[in-house]
Amino acid sequence: MTTNGNKEELLQKDREKLWHHMSPHNPNPIVAVSGEGSWLTDIDGNRFLDGMSGLWCVNVGHGREEIAEAAAEQMKTLAYFPLSHSHVPAIQLADKVAEWLNGDYRVFFSNSGSDANEVAFKIARQYFNQKGEPTRHKFISRYRAYHGNSMGALGATGQAVRKIKYEPLGTGFQHVPPPYCYRCPFGKEYGSCNIECAKIYEDVINWEGAETVAGVILEPVITGGGVIVPPAEYLTEVREICDKYGVLLIVDEVICGFGRSGKPFGHQNFGIKPDIVSMAKGITSAYSPLSATAVRADIYETFKQPGKNNHFRHVNTFGGNPVSCAVALKNIEILERENLVERADELGIQLRHKLDELADHPNVGDIRTFGFMAGIELVEDKKSKQPAESAKVTQVIAECKKRGLMIGKNSDTVPQYENVLTLSPPFVTTDEELEFIVNTLKEAFSTLLVKNYSV
């Protein structure tokens, strides 16, 4: 591994040179040095089960040598070629993505989820312009949702804390309340409501003027904003509203895609067909940067019409890099060969059942799962549903880490509502490792116990 002297030298350089993501500088970060399966090892030799698959992305697990070998072979053959022309891995991957989507799509490759959504917005606006509807430029997103860090994607994002000190952002983005049954924005309860969370789209489209609305963008489930799972009918209703008003439905599958939902893509759990699909993360299981925007074939055809500036004038130097495409192809091969999408579905069912054991804890307000991911919403007490103080959330995360489990939370989202713990383990998690995850969570929650309560 390394000596303490080497560690201290590295940490000092870290403090002097490295800008950490999403936090004030952490003077004592975990310095990871290796990974295998669901586990990470740090510079001191401590092992942690990666309960978040990195950032919702290492779906096939760490340490896959055959992915590294595929990357190396591609580097030796053709390390780079721009997609203003073409190369074999990109052709093969576009075909495979369309197969997984089970539809006639054309695929544009980029680097990240933010990039993929920016491409979707630009395509939608240009599409309507070339159809003779140039006033259609607005997009409707949801509060609590995250769609990326760039100015347009952050404009679509409905998380106030992410935007502080960066506004004004990309314009033309409107937001609707989330389908949040636990804290229904409409004061209803599921089963006795009229799915107002979906029907609000029709109101907003009309209030904005249907002739100005280009698209609706949503994740199948709001992931980083707190794992907010919609009612079963929700996406069907939104799809019908989009069709009624000629609005494109853009589904952000950056996290839900490539098996996380227990199906190839999260929207397939709800039986709908998007017009545009953005994806990243699980496409390579984070072994190499890559994202994609898949567009309905008939939309693509409008970009082939003769005329000045009718082509899509967007370029990405590294988007669809041959090495990343080769990595994605090997990653998808592993997902298929090892039946990992089905395994994710099975693990998700087990996780839901096991997490129910925490439901009676006085600080657990709601437990939400979708495929092999979970959100546990912490409260001060069940009756008031007052969000738990940040100290309680931090305490559970720290107690898990102390026991060798890394979990997440909905950081930097909505003021006073950053109270949801998140789980998104690799699909290679074993039954025994799943038991470890849940038992560790139970032990961590036991440190919050009030008198007369035991887990």
Helix (H) / strand (E) element for 197: namely helix 196-208
Q: Any idea what DSSP says for residue 345?
A: H
- My answer on whether 329 and 378 are in the same domain is no
Looking at per-residue pLDDT, the higher value among 90 and 27 belongs to 90
Contact 293, 252 (CB under 8 A): no
The DSSP string of 104-143 is: -EEEEEESSHHHHHHHHHHHHHHHHHHTT-TT--EEEEET
Domain end marker among 269, 304, 337: 337
Residue 22 forms part of a structural domain? no
pLDDT of amino acid 92: 98
Q: If we measure between CA atoms, which residue out of 425, 390, 392 comes closest to residue 407?
A: 425
pLDDT of amino acid 452: 36
Q: Any idea what DSSP says for residue 261?
A: T
**Which tokens is 84 given?**
């203003």
- My answer on whether 300 and 344 are in the same domain is no
pLDDT of amino acid 4: 55
Torsion of CA 72, 78, 83, 84, to 10 degrees: 160
Which of 197-206, 255-264, 441-450 has the lowest average pLDDT? 441-450
Helix (H) / strand (E) element for 248: namely strand 248-252
Tell me: pLDDT of 282 over 90: yes
In this structure, are strands 374-378 and 364-369 parallel, antiparallel, or unpaired?
Answer: antiparallel
Q: If we measure between CA atoms, which residue out of 108, 152, 139 comes closest to residue 300?
A: 108
Tell me: pLDDT of 23 over 60: yes
- My answer on whether 289 and 379 are in the same domain is no
- My answer on whether 318 and 254 are in the same domain is yes
- The boundaries of the domain holding residue 381 are 31-60+339-446
- My answer on whether 39 and 71 are in the same domain is no
CA distances from 157 to 22, 152, 225 (A): 16, 9, 10
- My answer on whether 44 and 93 are in the same domain is no
Percentage of residues in the chain with pLDDT exceeding 70?
A: 98
d(CA 345, CA 347): 6
Residue 369 exposure: Cα atoms within 13 Å on the Cβ side: 21
Residue 411 forms part of a structural domain? yes
pLDDT of amino acid 451: 41
**Which tokens is 55 given?**
């950032």
Residue 280 forms part of a structural domain? yes
- My answer on whether 249 and 328 are in the same domain is yes
Tell me: pLDDT of 454 over 70: no
Amino acid letter for position 337: R
The DSSP string of 273-335 is: --SEEEE-GGGTTTSS--EEEEEEHHHHHGGGSSSTT-S-----SSTT-HHHHHHHHHHHHHH
pLDDT of amino acid 28: 80
Residue 26 forms part of a structural domain? no
pLDDT of amino acid 27: 79
- My answer on whether 188 and 122 are in the same domain is yes
- Contacts of 191 by beta carbon, 8 Å cutoff, 6+ apart: none
Residue 379 forms part of a structural domain? yes
- My answer on whether 208 and 218 are in the same domain is yes
pLDDT of amino acid 455: 41
Domain end marker among 304, 322, 337: 337
Average pLDDT over residues 318-344: 98
Contact 408, 51 (CB under 8 A): yes
Tell me: pLDDT of 268 over 70: yes
Question: Which residue is associated with the tokens 């994740």?
Answer: 219
Contact 251, 267 (CB under 8 A): yes
Q: If we measure between CA atoms, which residue out of 211, 214, 194 comes closest to residue 124?
A: 214
pLDDT digits (tens, 9 = 90+) for 54-112: 999 999 999 999 999 999 999 999 999 999 999 999 999 999 999 999 999 999 999 99
Contact 204, 174 (CB under 8 A): yes
Tell me: pLDDT of 211 over 70: yes
Residue 200 forms part of a structural domain? yes
Long-range CB pairs of 70-77 (<8 Å, 24+ gap) are: 70/326, 70/327, 70/329, 70/330, 71/287, 71/288, 71/323, 71/326, 71/327, 73/326, 74/322, 74/323, 74/325, 74/326, 74/327, 75/323, 77/322
Residue 125 forms part of a structural domain? yes
pLDDT of amino acid 5: 61
Residue 23 forms part of a structural domain? no
Which of 6-10, 38-42, 56-60, 246-250 has the lowest average pLDDT? 6-10
Average pLDDT over residues 249-258: 98
Which of 2-11, 251-260, 315-324 has the lowest average pLDDT? 2-11
Whole-model pTM? 0.96
Neighbours of 280 (CB within 10 A): 28
- My answer on whether 122 and 208 are in the same domain is yes
Q: If we measure between CA atoms, which residue out of 123, 117, 300 comes closest to residue 219?
A: 117
In angstroms, how far is CA 127 from the centroid of its own chain? 26
Q: What is the CATH number of the domain that holds 343?
A: 3.90.1150.10
- My answer on whether 178 and 266 are in the same domain is yes
Contact 137, 156 (CB under 8 A): no
Phi, psi of 376 (to 5 degrees): -115, 110
d(CA 217, CA 276): 9
Domain end marker among 337, 369, 396: 337
- My answer on whether 199 and 217 are in the same domain is yes
* Three-state secondary-structure class, residue 249: strand
Q: How many helices (H) and strands (E) does the chain have?
A: 14, 15
Q: What is the CATH number of the domain that holds 267?
A: 3.40.640.10
Which of 22-36, 216-230, 329-343 has the lowest average pLDDT? 22-36
Average predicted confidence (pLDDT) for the chain: 95
Overall number of domains in the chain: 2
